[in-house]
Amino acid sequence: MRYEDFIKLNYVPENDLICEYYLETKEDFKKAAGGVAAESSIGTWDPDLTTMKPEIEKIAAKVFEIRGNRIKIAYPLDLFEMDNVSQILSSVAGNVFGMSIVENLRLLDIVFPEEMLKKYRGPKFGISGIRRFLKIKDRPLVGTIVKPKLGLNAEEQSEVAYKTWRGGIDLVKDDENLTDMSFNRFEDRVSKVLEMKDRAEEETGEKKGYMPNITAPYKEMERRAEIVENLGGKYIMVDILTTGWSAFEEISKYTKLAIHGHRAMHGAFTRNKKHGITMLVIAKFARLIGTDQLHTGGVIGKMEGEKNEVIEINSSLRSGNMKKTFPVASGGLYPGCVEKLIEILGKDIVIQAGGGVHAHPMGSERGAMAMRQAVEGVMKGYSLKEYAEDHEELKKAIERWGVVE
- The DSSP output letter for 16 is -
List 62, 147, 234, 266, catalytic entry: 147
Distance between CA atoms of 315 and 350, rounded to whole angstroms?
Answer: 14
- Give one DSSP letter per residue of 188-255, joined into a string: HHHHHHHHHHHHHHHHHSS--EEE-B--SSHHHHHHHHHHHHHTT--EEEEEHHHH-HHHHHHHHHH-
- Confirm whether 262 is a catalytic residue: yes
Q: Report residue 25 CA to chain centroid gap.
A: 31
Query: Is the CA virtual torsion 39, 42, 47, 51 positive or negative?
Result: positive
In this structure, are residues 35 and 7 in contact, taking their beta carbons and an 8 Å threshold?
A: no
Cis amide prior to 148 (ω within 30 degrees)? yes
Distance between CA atoms of 91 and 86, rounded to whole angstroms?
Answer: 9
List 208, 234, 262, 395, catalytic entry: 262
Active-site residues, by number, are 147, 262
